[in-house]
Amino acid sequence: MKIIHSPRHLGHSGHVELMNGQVVPAFEKPERVAMILNAIGERPFGTLIEPAAHGLEPLLKVHDAAYVRFLTNAWSLWTADGRDFPALPSFWRAPGMRTDIEPETIDGKLGHFSFDAGCCMVAGTWDAVQAAADIALTGVDLVAGGEKSAFALCRPPGHHAHAGTMGGYCFINNAAVAAQSFRDRGAARVAILDVDYHHGNGTQAIFYDRPDVLVCNIHADPLQEFPYFLGYADEIGSGAGEGFNANFPLRWGTDYSGWSTALDAACARIDAFGADVVVVSLGVDTYKDDPISQFQLDSPDYLKIGARIAALSRPTLFVMEGGYAVEAIGVNVANTLEGFLQR
Ligand SMILES: NCCCCCC(=O)NO
Ligand SMILES: [Zn+2]
């Protein structure tokens, strides 16, 4: 399996987030990548490659042009205001406020293009974001070119990013960009299986009215957990997309036995859909010691997750999402990939 990675993710460092009412160092920290690379390096299956550049066109197939323009120049707007510290939004709209107008000033733009204060930007953020999207797209090149699988070691993650909105540490939706690229390269039906602890609200929203991309999410119940306002079981898609979105919300404290029942149900949906290719949004924040999550999966369980995904017997692109237990993230990612490859 080829592992696509870039050191450009390091530009997204020194950022913060608003958590429990306090500005704290971001849990989505650069060390996560090193731990994953170390763990994979100890296994007999990974060949490391750097991404090829794909430009903005594939991003603009999924994201709004005004949003991408904002991402490319937000930092210069922020610093032009004399601010030399990480950029965070402070103001958001309430229902009933205007959504059709992009404010002129950076504070207004940050609120217009975000849904939380988990999307902090620093000088190197945009370069890291673009590299992450190139990593996912290089994974598409490999799998669409005939490789059975690949692992896009993306950082920052992407599954919370909507077409025109960032949040939850996510700026460009790497998995959605990859899914669209598979479609553009001839895959008629693409399934996205999001196994991250948090609901991939952005991915769901991007494909919600489309029957060509099935989105399955297994995640913490939004009644209890971020992103709170999307990810309920009754969200099944709209219009032509009705029946092509499936949410499997699970209560805090869920262990592998409960979690794997949802995985089997999601895999059954993917089989019935007849996916030509599967994009896995691989978050390992389902781990029992994850600092911001409340599931009870343990490291050996990720071997079983990988094997279950392999049983779909479809070309598969793994795209890295969340996971913040830095001491265990490497083992849990490597176990997922090993379980997949060993089947
Ligand atoms: N700051 C609120 C929690 C952000 C969750 C990020 C994540 O892991 N998403 O999958
Ligand atoms: Zn997550």
Q: Both tokens of residue 211? A: 């029957």
The residue nearest atom 8 of ligand 1, judged by CA position, is: 322
Alpha carbon nearest to ligand 1 atom 6, residue: 168
Phi-psi region of 298 (alpha: psi -120 to 50; beta: other; left: phi over 0): beta
Say how many C-beta atoms besides its own lie within 10 A of residue 65's C-beta.
11
Query: Which atom of ligand 1 approaches the CA of 167 most closely?
Result: 4
Q: Which ligand is nearest to the CA of 159?
A: 1
Please tell me the number of the ligand nearest to residue 27's CA: 1
- Ligand 1 interacting residues, C-beta cut-off 6 A: 17, 19, 118, 160, 168-169, 196, 198, 226, 283, 285, 292, 321-322
The three-class DSSP label of residue 132 is helix
Residue 79: count other Cβ atoms within 10 Å of its Cβ.
14
Mean residue pLDDT of the chain comes to 98
Q: What is the pLDDT of residue 114?
A: 98
Q: Which residues are catalytic?
A: 160
Which residue bears the tokens 């390992």? 284
Nearest atom of ligand 1 to the alpha carbon of 322: 8
The ligand 1 atom nearest the CA atom of 283: 10
Q: Whose CA is nearest to atom 5 of ligand 1?
A: 168
Which of 119, 218, 292, 295 has the most ligand 1 atoms within 8 A of CB, as the residue to mutate?
292
Averages of pLDDT over runs of 10 residues in the chain (343 residues) are 98 95 96 98 94 98 98 98 95 97 97 97 98 99 98 98 98 99 98 99 99 99 98 99 99 98 99 98 98 98 98 98 98 98 91
From 162, 169, 196, 282, the mutation candidate for ligand 1 (largest count of ligand atoms within 8 A of CB) is: 169
**pLDDT computed for residue 46 by the predictor:** 84
What residue's CA is closest to ligand 1, atom 7? 322
pLDDT of the residue at 77: 98
Quote the tokens at residue 228: 């709170």
User: Which residue from 161, 24, 7 is spatially nearest to 88, judged by alpha carbons?
Assistant: 24
Distance 185 CA to ligand 1 centre (A): 31
**SS3 of residue 114 by DSSP:** strand
Reported ipTM: the value is 0.99
Shortest-distance atom of ligand 1 to CA 197: 10
**277-282 and 316-320 beta bridge pairing:** parallel
Q: Residue 44: its pLDDT value, please?
A: 92
| Spacing, Cα 198 to ligand 2 middle (Å) | 4
Give 197 Cα–ligand 2 centroid separation in angstroms.
Answer: 5
Domain residue limits, the chain: 2-342
Q: How far is the CA of 296 from the centre of ligand 1 (A)?
A: 17
Query: Which class is 2-342 in CATH?
Result: alpha beta
In angstroms, the first-to-last Cα distance of the chain is 13
pLDDT score at 343? 82
